[in-house]
Copies of this chain bind each other. A is one copy, B any other.
Amino acid sequence: MNLKNDLLVRAARGEHTERVPVWLMRQAGRILPEYRAVRARVSGFIELATTPELAAEVTLQPVDLLGVDAAIIFSDILVVPEAMGLPYEMLESRGPVFPRTIRSLADVQALNVADAESDLGYVLEAIRLVKKSLAGRVPLIGFAGAPFTILCYMIEGKGSKTFSVAKKALYTDPELAHALLQKITDSTIGYLKAQAANGADVLQIFDSWAGILSPDQYRTFSLPYIAQICDAIPEVPVTVFAKGAFFARHEMNTLNCSVVGLDWNMDIAESRQLLPDKTLQGNLDPCVLYAPFGEIRRQTRRMLEQFGSQRYIANLGHGVYPDTDPDKVRCFIDTVKEYSLV
């Protein structure tokens, strides 16, 4: 099906766009009262993410309610470890928790390479439902976690400021780490290919914990696996968003991906220099959306001026914070749309 609004796909491919496309990480989520109403009808986050009709419903909400230029499938990066045989729970107060964690090479060997159709069919079904409802209005973004970020959770078992348990494994048992990373990578490639086959127009890889690694460790334990994924997916444009990996921007320019996401620590002009071959995405500080409307417009315009109008996808530098006023989000979106048309 042809897309009526294909700005995001064209920007990702490096083609000319008549205005800058805009969407927000975590746009389908707690910022919207309409999301919270759906969420209140189910037992928890995981039920919502694993029920295709509901996941599809909340995926579509920001397209209708906020006017973004793309939908992103409502799901979670931790569905991949679950599909590999390591289930998790989502605790309202603490975030994700894995009752079992990976401690030995035997634990890694006991994991499956996820089979997307049988293990993650509910995500693929949600993608098909969304595509049908969208009827080409805007593109749909699929996603997965980067193998290193997924390893962090599988070893640490929960969120952490330092992920020191997971990082300890990199220094004490690199063989285990590489075996686990390869199995996650193989699972992720199959999963992302299936997302594209079922209708995802763009795919994003989230390396949420990239910033806890030294440049050397990032080069050893993260980048090669992201590279494998990029190389394996020629079907659709791929975006790599490695939060905190400012030190790897130069190397990311050589990845087989179309778009690189930036967080708000990264200087825009410097990033353009380091990533001359990529479309860039980002990078407003999510806290700007707490500011008065005038300041949101001022900061958003400033960002647009710095990125320029081409090879650029406007976004925040991280997921929108749950307590953000939806009207402030709309102000950000509308400012991008109006300003970049001028």
Q: How many residues of A contact B (CB 8 A)?
A: 31
Chain B residues lying within 8 Å of A290, measured Cβ to Cβ, are 164, 167-168, 171-172
Q: Which of B167, B217, B244, B285 contacts A214 (CB 8 A)?
A: B285
Nearest-Cβ distance from residue A173 to partner chain B, whole angstroms: 10
Kindly identify, within residues 200 to 227 of chain A, every residue whose CB is under 8 Å from any CB belonging to chain B.
211, 213-215, 217
A171 to B, closest residue via Cβ: B291
Chain B residues lying within 8 Å of A167, measured Cβ to Cβ, are 285, 287, 290
Cα distance, A295 to B173, chains bound together (Å): 12
Cα distance, A317 to B162, chains bound together (Å): 13
Cβ-defined contact, B265 with A162, below 8 A: no
Q: Is A292 close to B, CB under 8 A?
A: yes
Q: Which of B217, B286, B317, B321 contacts A285 (CB 8 A)?
A: B217
Nearest-Cβ distance from residue A263 to partner chain B, whole angstroms: 9
Most buried by B among A285, A321, A323: A285
Q: Which of B214, B286, B292 contacts A264 (CB 8 A)?
A: B214
Q: Is A120 close to B, CB under 8 A?
A: no
Nearest-Cβ distance from residue A246 to partner chain B, whole angstroms: 6
Nearest-Cβ distance from residue A229 to partner chain B, whole angstroms: 23
Q: Is A94 close to B, CB under 8 A?
A: no
Nearest-Cβ distance from residue A318 to partner chain B, whole angstroms: 8
Cα distance, A211 to B286, chains bound together (Å): 14
Cα distance, A162 to B291, chains bound together (Å): 16
Cα distance, A211 to B318, chains bound together (Å): 14
Cα distance, A260 to B297, chains bound together (Å): 36
Cα distance, A321 to B291, chains bound together (Å): 37
Cα distance, A295 to B317, chains bound together (Å): 36
Nearest-Cβ distance from residue A248 to partner chain B, whole angstroms: 10
Q: Which of B172, B213, B267, B292 contacts A247 (CB 8 A)?
A: B267
